[in-house]
Every structure is written in C-alpha cells, then in structure tokens.
Amino acid sequence: MKIFLLFFMLAAHAELKVVTTTADLEALVTAVAGGKVKIDAIARGTQDPHSIEAKPSFMVKMRNADLVIAHGLELEAAWVVPLIQGSRNPKLAVGGKGFLELGDKLDPIEIPKGGVTRAEGDVHPGGNPHFTLDPLRLGKAAGLVAERLGELDTANRELFKKNAAVFHNRLAEKTKDWKTRLEKTKIKQIVTYHKTLNYFLDRFGIQNPIQLEPRPGIPPTAAHLMEVVETMKKNQVRLVLVENLYDAKAGEKVIGDVPGAKVARVPVSVGGEPEIKTNEQLLEKLVKTIEENSH
C-alpha cells in the first residue's frame, strides 16, 4: 500500500511534459515555465513550419506529453493532427486541456473577407498565423500559456503567472525601445518573400506593400518580380527582407533593378541562426538588420 501511495505521490509531482510545434513557442514556454516543465519542439528555426513532415519520431515525442502548444490558424494543420493521432496519447485530444492553439486568441491580422479558395494560394482562413514576431502578442501568449500550465500543474500556478508577467513586461518595455530605433531609420515600407513578418512590421508601423511570392506558397515568377520592381520604384521601397527559409535569389534579382535598394536575409524563428536562443534576441536581430540596412 505504501508503495502505491509513494507511486501516486510521485506521479502527482511529476514534471509536466510540453511539446511545442515551433522553436518560437518552445522559447516562450521556457520563459514561462521557469525550469518546472520539460519542453520539446517539433519544427526547428530554419524550417518552414507550413510544411513539416509528420515524422513518426515526433509521435514518440508526443507519446508522453501532457500538453501540445501550437500556433493554430492552420499553420500546422497538415502535420500536427497526424502527429497527435499517431502518438496515441489520449491527453492530447482536441477540445481537451492537452492541446492549446494560441493564434485565434490573439486578435489575428489579415483575416480574409468572404470565402477563400486555393486559387489565392496557401491562404489561412483564420488569419495570419505568424504572431510570434509581434512582441506584444507574444506577451499576451505568455499569459495564455501560464494559465494552461497552471491548470495542469496547480502547485506551480503562481510561478507560471509571475514568469509570464515578467516576460510580458520585458517585451512591452523593449517594444518602446525598438519602436524608437525603427522610427529613426525612417523606413516606412519593406518587401518580404512571404507574409511571415507582417505582425512585426504592423507593430512598428511599417507597411509590406508586396511580397516576392505572387501568392502565399507559390514561388516567384518573372512577371511577378517585375511587378515587385515597379511597386518598389513607385513607393520608394529600399529594403527587401528575405526570410531565411527561402532562397534569396529572387530578392537579389529585384534589387538589381531598383537603384539604392538592399536585400538582407533574416531569421524568422528562434534558432533561425545559431546564436538566437530567445524570442527577444530574435526580435532584436530583426530591428538591428533594418537599422543596418537603412542607410
């Protein structure tokens, strides 16, 4: 009997196991969890989260997980459900406490009006899912993560809430600094490859008038790149940021036709470059890249 009691006591205090779909969310949970949670991520920072292959080894990661945290808004739709099904872990069923999608709770941008079809490319009907590049939404996401972790591990609930508040306040403070620095660059418009950076640009009042890909998920065509060149000339856009998931050739081709324009490859996820370990470091890298290419 004592052995059983000991077993149940140990089980009750077992460390929570969380699997996140991306490295951005892994970094976020790490900040909130304060060392009280075992965290694993599926997509690495150099991988395109839209098209991760549902490797069975990921199912093994999820087999004993208490919680899977995803961006949602159909970013991982093609692979997260097969992984959860393959894990055969009843804790992770949709609608239960073991599965948390954050995107739809964070006031998503670019929600298509009316019906969407695949003729428009890889459009997300619920809105743009790349919210982790907005420091303020990331702060709010920390609160949501803390709330769910607290439900699953009540003993550490207050710690999670405190860590989330610290994370939120830190990013809010940094946002003021980043805003000031980006305003000094006087850059008002930037062209990107995909709409990955739109939350970041939107937060700091920078527009993204056109992307290198003609439609989401469709590779650049010569005709479309001519349109990009025309738009850049017309709007006096002088900077192209190519997310380092994509080939930079299209960006290099475009700036060759726009006098004074520059192109830079940027990481768009934690781990996108080896030295980027936290969400703050990633956002700092983006700000710095824009600063360095604004002259």
Partner 1 sequence: MQLSCIPEGPLKIILILTALLFGPALTFAQSNSLKSPNISADALFLYRQSNFSKEDFEDSSPRNGLDLQEAELAFYADVDPYSRLNLLLSVHPDYEYLAATHRIKQTWGVEPEELFVESGHVAGVTLRLGKFKAAFGKHGLLHTHAYPFVDAPLINSSLLGAEGLNDVGASAAVLIPLSWYSELTLQYLRGEGENYEFHSPTPGDGVGVGHWKNLWDLCDSTTVEVGASYARGNNDLGGVTTLSGGDLTFKWRPLSGGRYRSGILAFEYIDRAQQQLGAGTERGAGLSSWVQFQFAERWTAKLRYETLKVTGSDAGVNTEHSLANALSAKTTAALQFDATEFSFFRLEYERLHGPAQSNGLANENKIYLQANFTIGAHPAHSY
Binding site for partner 1 (CB under 8 A): 44, 46-48, 51, 53-57, 59-60, 63, 77-79, 81-82, 84-95, 118, 122, 217-219, 244-247
Tell the smallest beta-carbon distance from residue 246 to partner 1 (Å). Answer: 7
Tell the smallest beta-carbon distance from residue 183 to partner 1 (Å). Answer: 33
Please say which residue, 90 or 260, places its beta carbon nearer to partner 1. 90
Q: Is 222 in contact with 174 (CB distance < 8 Å)?
A: no
Tell the smallest beta-carbon distance from residue 219 to partner 1 (Å). Answer: 5
Tell the smallest beta-carbon distance from residue 87 to partner 1 (Å). Answer: 7
What are the Cα distances from residue 283, in Å, to 25, 59, 269, 287?
14, 31, 9, 6
Please say which residue, 151 or 183, places its beta carbon nearer to partner 1. 151
- The pair of structure tokens assigned to 248 is 């930079």
HSE-CB for 263 with a 13 A CA cutoff: 23
Please say which residue, 55 or 184, places its beta carbon nearer to partner 1. 55
Task: Show the CA angle centred on residue 103, arms to residues 97 and 107, nearest 5°.
Answer: 120
123's CB contacts (< 8 A; 6+ apart) are 112, 116, 215, 216
Please say which residue, 88 or 233, places its beta carbon nearer to partner 1. 88
Nearest in space to 71 (alpha carbons), one of 101, 95, 42, 97: 101
Please say which residue, 46 or 281, places its beta carbon nearer to partner 1. 46
Position 136, amino acid: L
Please say which residue, 172 or 218, places its beta carbon nearer to partner 1. 218
Please say which residue, 228 or 287, places its beta carbon nearer to partner 1. 228
CA dihedral 243, 184, 198, 202 (to 10 degrees): 170
- The pair of structure tokens assigned to 132 is 């982790």
Tell the smallest beta-carbon distance from residue 78 to partner 1 (Å). Answer: 6
Q: Is 169 in contact with 279 (CB distance < 8 Å)?
A: no
Sheet holding 262-266, edge to edge: 191-192, 239-243, 262-266
Tell the smallest beta-carbon distance from residue 85 to partner 1 (Å). Answer: 6
- Collapsed DSSP state (helix, strand, coil) of residue 41: strand
Tell the smallest beta-carbon distance from residue 148 to partner 1 (Å). Answer: 18
